């Protein structure tokens, strides 16, 4: 019984990974910003193929990614369910910790941990990081430098369309400040937005999801380079055990109606039930 369950998990994980790998790949979606010029000079950026290859089939494999392969990853969403969870130590104990949109961690570290190895950021957050780093207000600037310096080698990875966009200029400016302040943080970009990889949900759940959340897309990306994934902070309902659950653990924003949160939640619960991931809701065990 135990063995057949193990086999089922193995097969399901394999099938799941094979599907996701068609759509997500850190070598294409998390590229060192320092390799941007190489990509522009030696590759066809939209097709991600080598210029010297006239058949336009050979991938642009001369750009590099800071992402390696990890045994255990924590994918941490920003959900209010994390408040009072005391999951911080458990989250930080993973080999690689992934978050979205560079959320504040230190003041909440008992619940959310304080390590971030990879954070995927959208346009709004990229602009905020840039603005804070260039701020004349020393307090504001220092807070952002501290946040970027919290985990050595933290990767700040942009998620949307990047090539020749305004985002490229912002990232250049952020990279400069990081170099100047001798931080070990790394900035990274995708050759093409991986948030547009809708086809994967068609294959996984048989439905097209137009607005899969950044969190779910980040999880899909992570599943291509992590053996075991635990997920925290993904809970879309507004109450849990008769208590109100805010949308974010760190502010009072209300959710955007565009996302398919209920369907996403069902998918995660299914994966959890099948043993493909650990989806943690509520309190973490503390000995
Ligand atoms: C700098 O920013 C901090 C935090 O937002 C604020 O409290 C402070 O008043 C600002 N200082 C100046 C000189 O604007
Ligand atoms: C992270 O939290 C741990 C305790 O949970 C603490 O020892 C460590 O100094 C913190 N790191 C940072 C960068 O705040």
Q: Is 272 a catalytic residue?
A: no
Counting from 1 in the atom list of ligand 2, the atom nearest the Cα of 114 is 1
CA angle, residues 245, 140, 150, in degrees to nearest 5 = 70
Q: What pLDDT does residue 1 have? A: 45
Ligand 2 atom 6: the closest Cα is on which residue? 114
The whole-number pLDDT of residue 26 equals 93
For atom 13 of ligand 2, which residue has the closest CA?
150
pLDDT on residue 55: 85
Listed as ranges, residues in the chain with pLDDT below 70 are 1-15, 195-201, 204-207, 209-211, 256-259, 286-287
Cα–Cα distance between 103 and 93 in angstroms, integer? Answer: 19
Helix axes 138-149, 123-133, angle to 10 degrees: 120
pTM: 0.91
pLDDT at 224: 92
**What tens digit of pLDDT does each residue of 161-220 get?**
888 889 999 999 999 999 999 999 999 999 987 766 666 667 766 667 666 777 788 888
> Are 33 and 129 within 8 A, CB to CB?
no
What pLDDT shows up at residue 11? 59
Ligand nearest to the backbone CA of 140: 1
CB 82 within 8 A of CB 249: yes
Q: Which fold has domain 2-30+70-279?
A: sialyltransferase cstii, chain A (3.90.1480)
**Active-site option among 248, 259, 272, 279:** 259
pLDDT value for 150: 92
Tell me how far the alpha carbon of residue 116 lies from the centroid of ligand 1, in angstroms.
Answer: 26
CATH 3.90.1480.20 intervals, the chain:
2-30+70-279
Q: What is the pLDDT of residue 217?
A: 85
CA of 137, closest atom in ligand 1? 1
Pocket test for ligand 1, best of 133, 134, 136, 137 (most atoms within 8 A of CB): 137
Atom of ligand 1 nearest to the CA of 140: 2
Ligand 1 neighbours by CB, cut-off 6 Å: 137, 139-140
Q: Which parts of the chain are beta strand (E)?
A: 31-32, 43-44, 49-50, 70-76, 96-100, 118-121, 155-158, 186-189, 226-232, 239-240, 243-244, 278-279
Q: Which H helix or E strand runs over 48? A: none
Q: Cα(56)–Cα(204) distance, rounded to whole angstroms? A: 29
Q: Is 267 left (phi over 0), alpha (psi -120 to 50) or beta?
A: alpha
Ligand nearest to the CA of 150: 2
- Of 115, 85, 124, nearest to 249 by C-alpha is 85
Separation of alpha carbons 123 and 119, rounded Å: 13
Q: Is 38 left (phi over 0), alpha (psi -120 to 50) or beta?
A: alpha
């Amino acid at each position: 019984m135990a063995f057949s369950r193990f086999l089922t998990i193995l097969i399901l994980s394999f099938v799941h990974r094979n599907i996701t790998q068609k759509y997500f790949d850190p070598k294409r979606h998390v590229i060192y910003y320092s390799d941007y010029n190489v990509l522009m000079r030696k590759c066809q950026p939209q097709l991600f193929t080598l210029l010297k290859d006239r058949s336009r089939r050979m991938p642009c494999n001369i750009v590099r990614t800071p992402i390696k392969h990890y045994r255990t990853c924590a994918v941490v969403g920003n959900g209010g369910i994390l408040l009072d969870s005391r999951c911080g130590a458990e989250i930080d104990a993973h080999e690689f910790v992934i978050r979205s949109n560079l959320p504040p961690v230190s003041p909440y570290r008992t619940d959310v941990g304080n390590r971030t190895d990879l954070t995927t950021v959208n346009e709004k957050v990229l602009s905020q990081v840039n603005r804070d780093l260039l701020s004349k207000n020393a307090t504001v600037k220092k807070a952002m430098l501290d946040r970027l310096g919290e985990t050595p080698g933290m990767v700040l990875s942009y998620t949307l369309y990047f090539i020749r966009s305004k985002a490229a200029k912002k990232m250049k400016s952020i990279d400069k400040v990081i170099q100047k302040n001798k931080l070990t943080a790394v900035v990274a970009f995708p050759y093409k937005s991986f948030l547009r990889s809708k086809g994967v949900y068609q294959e996984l759940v048989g439905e097209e999801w137009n607005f899969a959340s950044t969190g779910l897309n980040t999880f899909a990306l992570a599943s291509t380079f992590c053996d075991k994934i635990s997920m925290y902070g993904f809970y879309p309902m507004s109450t849990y055990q008769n208590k109100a659950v805010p949308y974010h653990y760190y502010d009072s924003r209300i959710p955007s109606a565009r996302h398919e949160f209920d369907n996403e939640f069902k998918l995660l619960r299914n994966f959890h039930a099948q043993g493909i991931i650990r989806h943690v809701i509520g309190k973490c065990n503390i000995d």
